[in-house]
Structure 1
């Protein structure tokens, strides 16, 4: 009586917006398409369509290009899909179905550094 049912929530790989040290960044091993153990299988930018969200999208695309990874960066604006990730602050960056940054516009070099800290 009085106890609430615990709900399952998605735990971000790193909710520090990329400001943690390497030892704190969790290496992503979950697989959304079977390629996660070898590398990045999918990258998504979650946003409402604002200037900041577009800026993160461009930064992510540039970082991927610089790294030589052939993955398309998906831009998700559907609020229902965004809510499924548990994101409350946008823009957000999702790598292999794990939220790795939210509420911050990362520069291309910051996205690249975050991906390297995550083991890519």
Structure 2
């Protein structure tokens, strides 16, 4: 599973990244979690608001910080 936290490094982006890390630990899934902070890469992904979350190439959260429990549910739906 590939999970991307997308944003330019703001506080909200960092919180979303932390929540993703917690969710991955709690679910025990094997996931590659990466931060996408380069503006050109963000545009290439087609993301228009930050923070955003992508799982396996699909945008699942956009423009807000998802709670850990919500991310756990999303991860389980992609297993």
Structure 2 length-normalised TM: 0.91
Choose between structure 1 and 2: higher strand proportion.
2
Cα distance between partner residues in 1 of 2:62 and 2:23: 17
Structure 1 length-normalised TM: 0.62
| Structure 2 stretches lacking a partner, 5+ long | none
1:101 and 2:56 are equivalent in the alignment = no
Runs of 4+ in 1 over 3 A off after TM superposition: none
2:75 corresponds in structure 1 to: 115
2:21 corresponds in structure 1 to: 61
| Structure 1 stretches lacking a partner, 5+ long | 1-40
Residue 103 (structure 1) shift:
0.4
Q: Secondary structure at the match of 2:49?
A: coil
1:83 and 2:62 are equivalent in the alignment = no
Choose between structure 1 and 2: higher helix proportion.
2
**Per chain length, whose mean CA-contact separation is higher, i.e. which structure has more relative contact order (CA < 8 Å, sep 6+)?**
2
Structure exhibiting the larger radius of gyration computed from Cα positions: 1
2:30 corresponds in structure 1 to: 70
Residue 89 (structure 1) shift:
0.8
Coordinate RMSD, CA, aligned: 1.2
Q: Secondary structure at the match of 1:48?
A: coil
Cα distance between partner residues in 2 of 1:95 and 1:72: 10
